[in-house]
Amino acid sequence: MHLSEQILEHLKRLSGGGPIAAKSLLHLGNRAAVDQALSRLTEKGQLVRVGRGVYLPPVKGRFGTRLPSVEEAVKAIAMQKGEVIVPSGATAANELGLTTQMPIRPVYWTSGRTRKMNLGKQVVEFRHAPRWQLALALKPAGQTVRALAWLGPEKAEPALQTIKRKLPAAAFKELLEAVPQLPSWLAQSVSKAAHGSNAE
């Protein structure tokens, strides 16, 4: 069996059909041979490269195959690289109804390095962010932290009043518990919002 076929067989055995990383295939051959086989499979459209050494199969549907979604690709990279990757503050603020602005292309904040990913014709941007901006990762409280980080000190307090009305009590409690991780200006705004209605 050719190395390319072995890789496809290995992929079939993975839950949900991927993602697959070059490093996880070194039992099938040396790195150069694995990279070459992955490159051939990508050229044939049997795999999609979503990051350095990270691949996903194309998604099969009723109308043929399509590229994985940006969300699927980002999830694969986070899993394979061990990075925290979350939608940017602008995206979080938009989803929380705090702004109508949206980035022209998808932007994510990451614990890894700043870089770009090409997914077909779409360019996805990864920007390195400080640890506190990645706190609580994909939870609603984490989304709030990123939205407030993007809005900045002047807009954070009024925004918190809006957010507090929308956030479930448990999520606001999580936000409050994360205060020690936050910069002083944001910690103060969150504490004020909590104190204002005895949320502690």
pLDDT of residue 198: 43
Residue 103, pLDDT score: 78
Q: Is residue 23 scored above 70 in pLDDT?
A: yes
Residue 15 scores a pLDDT above 70: no
**Per-residue pLDDT at 53:** 84
Please report, for the chain, the start and end positions of each structural domain, with discontinuous segments joined by +.
3-66, 83-196
> C-alpha distances in angstroms, 129 versus 17, 61, 106, 110, 135?
30, 36, 15, 6, 11
pLDDT at 200 over 50: no
Beta bridge partners of 61: 64
Which of 1.10.10, 3.40.190, 1.10.1740, 3.40.50 would CATH assign to domain 3-66?
Answer: 1.10.10
Average pLDDT along the chain: 89
Q: How far apart are CA 85 and CA 8, in angstroms?
A: 27
Q: Report helix, strand and coil shares of the chain as percent, to nearest 5.
A: 50, 15, 30
Q: Supply the pTM of this predicted model.
A: 0.82
pLDDT digits (tens, 9 = 90+) for 169-191: 899 999 999 999 999 999 999 99
Q: What backbone torsions phi and psi does residue 79 show, to the nearest 5 degrees?
A: -65, -45
pLDDT (tens digit per residue) in 81-132: 899 999 999 999 999 999 888 878 899 999 999 999 888 888 999 999 999 9
Q: Is the pLDDT of residue 18 over 80?
A: no
